[in-house]
Chains A and B, each alone.
Chain A
Amino acid sequence: MILHLTILLSFQLAGEVISRGLGLPLPGPVLGMAFLFVALLILPKLADTISGTAKGLLGHLSLLFVPAGVGVVGHLGTLGTDGPALALAIIGSTLLALLAGVGAFLGVARLTGAKHD
């Protein structure tokens, strides 16, 4: 458990240092994910080592958003009179983005014959 966390944090640290050092537009943890992915390709055994901890963490990924969500409640007032318009924009655009994304995925998958599992 501690070893697994050390591995994950080391990749995050590497991502953070490189992202900030080079002024990249990607957040450190996202870059750390890319590095870990490459490491898994080179060392497939690493996957067996950390997969239990990774699954445990990702199975409760929702929990990790709770503190930020609580912070948002205090700021709902900043939406002010624009609140209803912004709510409609958020719901409408999320719906449209899901439709566009899934439509493009399935359309291109059909054209290129990419198999459905």
Chain B
Amino acid sequence: MTEIWTYLSREPLLWLTLTLIAYGIGDWAFKAADRRPVVNPVLIAVAILAVTLRLTNTPYDIYFRGAQFVHFMLGPATVALAVPLYANLKGMKGAVLPMLAALVAGSLTAMVSAVAIASLLGVRGVTLLSIAPKSATAPVALGVSEAIGGSPTLTAVMVILTGITGAVIVTPLMNRLGVRDWRARGFALGVAAHGIGTARAFQVNETAGAFAGVGMGINALLTALIAPVLAPLVIRLLT
């Protein structure tokens, strides 16, 4: 028994399979709960796996040896976003100006308000710098964080938490506001909550998903360009 466990806990097979099972449970719960946004499949899967790792005393790098195959697919999946983008080309053409306005408004609001709220609540130094790029997709956010003197690890935590927050609050928020335009809903979510938001948008509506993918992509560019200037400026003004 110990021998089997020694083998399984070291090899990728067990952790890869458990990642898929945990997601399967999360997805089942999401559907069983009438697709209610608080029952977020990512959140459920992460919780199940975190508890499993804790109980079996498994370090994250061992887990990641199996999970890396799933993680790796993020790259081709990002490339694949071009397909719904192309399919929604007609809708995009008519919405260039609204998209640009939403990009600038959403991206600046995310960065400035995150730094402002954290700083008013007493957060200072490296931690404060680390929160600025958190609405951008992870690889960009980490690069920006490093460039402005933040901590990439801390930024990674905040990027994921931002994505989950956006994915959970977007549907109740937009329904309450009575926003029925899937383009606007999706695009704003992609800008505010990157890939996790985009994944959520695809669960709800394909047009929303395509617009979210574009929002995520161009916000990555805008954040990379303006965060290094804007974040230190806001911090100087507020602290």
Contact call B106/A30, Cβ cutoff below 8 A: no
CA A30 to CA B139, docked complex, whole Å: 10
* Contact pick for B80, options A26, A58, A69, A96, CB 8 Å: A58
CA A24 to CA B67, docked complex, whole Å: 29
Contact call B80/A102, Cβ cutoff below 8 A: no
Main SS class of interface, A: helix
Chain A interface residue count, Cβ-Cβ cutoff 8 angstroms: 81
8 Å CB contacts to A: which residues of B31-49? 41-43, 45-46, 49
Which residues of the partner chain A approach B70 to less than 8 Å between Cβ atoms?
63-64, 66-67
Chain B interface residue bracket vs A: 35 or more
8 Å CB contacts to A: which residues of B5-51? 19-20, 22-23, 27, 41-43, 45-46, 49-50
Which residues of the partner chain A approach B74 to less than 8 Å between Cβ atoms?
29, 64-65
Contact call B207/A117, Cβ cutoff below 8 A: yes
Distance of A100 from chain B, by nearest CB (Å): 4
Contact call B83/A50, Cβ cutoff below 8 A: yes
CA A12 to CA B158, docked complex, whole Å: 26
Contact call A28/B75, Cβ cutoff below 8 A: yes
Distance of A64 from chain B, by nearest CB (Å): 5
Chain A proximity mask over B155-183: 1 for CB below 8 Å, otherwise 0? 01110111111100110011001011111
Q: Can you sample 23 A-B contacts with CB below 8 Å?
A: A8-B79, A11-B79, A29-B79, A54-B84, A63-B20, A64-B70, A64-B199, A67-B67, A68-B138, A69-B46, A72-B160, A75-B153, A94-B192, A97-B110, A97-B113, A97-B188, A98-B170, A98-B173, A99-B173, A100-B108, A105-B99, A105-B101, A108-B101
Residues of chain A whose beta carbon lies under 8 Å from any beta carbon of chain B = 5, 8-9, 11-12, 15, 25-30, 32-37, 39-41, 47, 50-51, 53-55, 57-76, 78-79, 82, 84-109, 112, 114-117
